C-alpha cells in the first residue's frame, strides 16, 4: 500500500520562527491534505491540494503539492503558541485516507 513518510518527527521552535515540514510517498497521490491535531481532539483540515505544483495558503500556513506528485510541504510563518500540536499529511488510498505518522510541533513562548 501507499506509505507516507513525514519529517521531521518533532520540532522545538521559538515563538515567531518559521516552520517547515514535509511529506513524501513512494507512490503518486492525486490529492494531498494537511491536518492538525490538538491533544485530545480529532484532526482538523488545514489545507487541501488537488493539482501537482499547486501552492495554497491559509493565513500563516502555506502548502505545496510537489511536481512529481510524490511529496508535499507545509510551512508555518511567524509561529505562535497555539500552533502547538501534531501535523499530519494525508492522501486518498482507494476508499480511505492514508496518514503519515505526524510531525509534533512545540512552540516556546
Partner 1 sequence: NAGVMQNPRHLVRRRGQEARLRCSPMKGHSHVYWYRQLPEEGLKFMVYLQKENIIDESGMPKERFSAEFPKEGPSILRIQQVVRGDSAAYFCASSKWGGPGYEQFFGPGTRLTVL
CB within 8 A of 106, min separation 6: which ones? Answer: 10, 11, 12, 13, 84
Minimum distance of partner 1 from residue 72's CB (angstroms) = 14
- Longest CA–CA separation in the chain, Å: 42
Q: In this structure, what is the dihedral angle of CA atoms 10, 14, 19, 21, given to the nearest 10 degrees? A: 0
Q: From CA 31, how far away is CA 45, in angstroms rounded?
A: 13
Q: Counting contacts by CB under 8 A, is residue 56 touching partner 1? A: no
Q: Counting contacts by CB under 8 A, is residue 85 touching partner 1? A: no
Minimum distance of partner 1 from residue 80's CB (angstroms) = 23
- Residue closer to partner 1 by CB (options 50, 80) is 50
Q: Counting contacts by CB under 8 A, is residue 41 touching partner 1? A: yes
The footprint of partner 1 (CB under 8 A) covers: 4, 30-31, 33, 35, 40-45, 48, 50, 88, 92-102
Amino acid at each position: 500500500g501507499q506509505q507516507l513518510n513525514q519529517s521531521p518527527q518533532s520540532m522545538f521552535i521559538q515563538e515567531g520562527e518559521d516552520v517547515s515540514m514535509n511529506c513524501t510517498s513512494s507512490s503518486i497521490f492525486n490529492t494531498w491534505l494537511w491536518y492538525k491535531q490538538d491533544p485530545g481532539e480529532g484532526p482538523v483540515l488545514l489545507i487541501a491540494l488537488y493539482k501537482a505544483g499547486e501552492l495554497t495558503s491559509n493565513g500563516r500556513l502555506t502548502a505545496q503539492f510537489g511536481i512529481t506528485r510524490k511529496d508535499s510541504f507545509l510551512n508555518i510563518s511567524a509561529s505562535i503558541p497555539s500552533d502547538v500540536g501534531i501535523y499530519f499529511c494525508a492522501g486518498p488510498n482507494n476508499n480511505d485516507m492514508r496518514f503519515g505518522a505526524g510531525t509534533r510541533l512545540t512552540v516556546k513562548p
